[in-house]
């Protein structure tokens, strides 16, 4: 009788050991995925539920190997909710470690320089990995163009607030580093000038030079005569004009028409990036008062009106006007 009991006990121990060894082998065995698999683990999902999500996505052979891997000694941290990319062939144990580490998918939202606030709000609204509704429209020019990292589910209002706080910080830093004797006295005016520079050129190498032209014109009391400000007065920043300006539009007064009004317009016309912010407060020292497109994506600059008119004729010849 005792011998039978001992034999039964030994058998049970052997089977338990064999089962543990088998489970240990299975949780370390390469998973079935041959491509990365993205899964979303909702908050409050239990371990077996997480295993079910992974099994249905084809990331593991069985949900129970996730349960077994979560019971492996040495790490008792919980499995965290979020969006995860499971690498090809990841074992159940590696997958559990990924979820314990909270290595969620990082999304990126790139806001190009020169967009208006309305365009940025549309971009945020159309980003599917964000959640929630948009906040009220912020003032023009108060959101910093940048690439923003975020995780799935971040609130849209929080994203807009991040952009706003980033612009506050960048504008403050630029203003702190400003040169002396600028023809304006507040960071808000620097933001307005930076927004015009942003719309005038996409070339970093030109920003300070264009800033120098505008600063020279402001000092002399000359009108800025910037086409992008006229366009903003027409569109109110809600979209592209989609055509060239007419002579009538250049002569029609609006708050933003710098052909009819002297000085800076009453507010920004776009969202300037760091380069334009810094250019506005550190303009190139130059005697130039004019610039026009040169057909290469850049501009031809001039000190005198005669030289400028010659550059304009060259530009018109290029575009057939």
Question: How high is the pLDDT of residue 246?
Answer: 87
Question: How high is the pLDDT of residue 297?
Answer: 85
Label residue 111 by pLDDT band (50, 70, 90): very high
Q: Render pLDDT for 217-230 as a digit per residue (tens, 0 to 9).
A: 999 999 999 999 99
The CA-based angle 193-198-199, given to 5 degrees, is 100
Higher pLDDT: 27 or 1? It is: 27
Sorted by where each begins, the domain ranges of the chain are 26-101, 107-166, 181-319
Label residue 14 by pLDDT band (50, 70, 90): very low
> Is the distance from CB of 206 to CB of 313 less than 8 angstroms?
no
In the chain, count H helices and then E strands.
Answer: 12, 6
Q: What are the two backbone dihedrals, phi and then psi, of residue 85, each rounded to the nearest 5 degrees?
A: -105, 115
Question: How high is the pLDDT of residue 7?
Answer: 44
Average pLDDT over residues 99-118: 95
Give the tokens for residue 300.
């031809």
Average pLDDT over residues 71-76: 83
How far does CA 229 lie from the centroid of its chain? 25
Question: How high is the pLDDT of residue 20?
Answer: 54
Q: What are the two backbone dihedrals, phi and then psi, of residue 290, each rounded to the nearest 5 degrees?
A: -140, 155
Architecture in CATH of 26-101: 2-Layer Sandwich (3.30)
Which H, E and C letters describe 38-79, residue by residue? EEEECCCCCHHHHHHHHHHCCCCCCHHHHHHHHCCCCCCCCC
Give 246's Cβ-side CA count (13 Å radius).
4
Look over the chain and give the mean of its residue pLDDT values, rounded to a whole number. 89
Q: Is the pLDDT of residue 172 over 60?
A: yes
CB atoms within 10 A of CB 134: 15
Question: How high is the pLDDT of residue 34?
Answer: 85
Label residue 10 by pLDDT band (50, 70, 90): very low
> Is the distance from CB of 113 to CB of 276 less than 8 angstroms?
yes
Q: Render pLDDT for 235-276 as a digit per residue (tens, 0 to 9).
A: 888 878 878 888 898 999 999 999 999 999 999 999 999 999
Q: Is the pLDDT of residue 18 over 80?
A: no
């Amino acid at each position: 009788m005792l011998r039978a009991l001992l034999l039964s006990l030994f058998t049970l121990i052997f089977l338990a050991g064999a089962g543990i060894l088998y489970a240990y082998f299975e949780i370390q065995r390469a998973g079935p995925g041959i491509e990365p698999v993205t899964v979303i683990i909702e908050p409050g999902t239990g371990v077996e539920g997480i295993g079910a999500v992974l099994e249905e996505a084809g990331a593991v052979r069985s949900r129970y190997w996730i349960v077994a891997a979560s019971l492996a000694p040495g790490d008792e941290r919980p499995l965290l909710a979020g969006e995860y990319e499971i690498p090809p062939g990841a074992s159940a144990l590696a997958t559990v470690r990924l979820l314990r580490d909270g290595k969620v998918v990082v999304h990126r939202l790139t806001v190009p320089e020169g967009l208006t606030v309305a365009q940025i709000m549309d971009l945020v609204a159309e980003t599917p990995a964000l959640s929630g509704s948009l906040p009220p429209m912020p003032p023009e020019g108060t959101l910093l163009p940048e690439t923003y990292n975020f995780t799935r589910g971040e609130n849209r209002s929080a994203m807009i607030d991040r952009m706003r706080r980033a612009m506050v910080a960048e504008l403050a830093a630029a203003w702190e580093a400003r040169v002396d004797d600028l023809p304006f006295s507040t960071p808000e005016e620097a933001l307005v000038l930076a927004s015009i520079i942003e719309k005038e050129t996409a070339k970093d190498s030109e920003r300070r030079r264009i800033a120098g032209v505008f600063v020279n014109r402001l000092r002399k009391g000359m009108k800025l005569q910037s086409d992008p400000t006229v366009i903003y007065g027409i569109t109110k920043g809600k979209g592209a004009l989609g055509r060239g300006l007419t002579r009538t539009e250049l002569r029609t007064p609006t708050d933003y028409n710098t052909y009819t009004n002297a000085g800076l317009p009453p507010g920004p016309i776009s969202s300037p990036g760091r380069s334009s912010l810094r250019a506005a407060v550190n303009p190139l020292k130059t005697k130039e008062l004019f610039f026009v497109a040169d057909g290469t994506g850049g501009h031809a600059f001039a000190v005198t009106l005669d030289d400028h008119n010659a550059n304009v004729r060259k530009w018109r010849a290029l575009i057939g006007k």
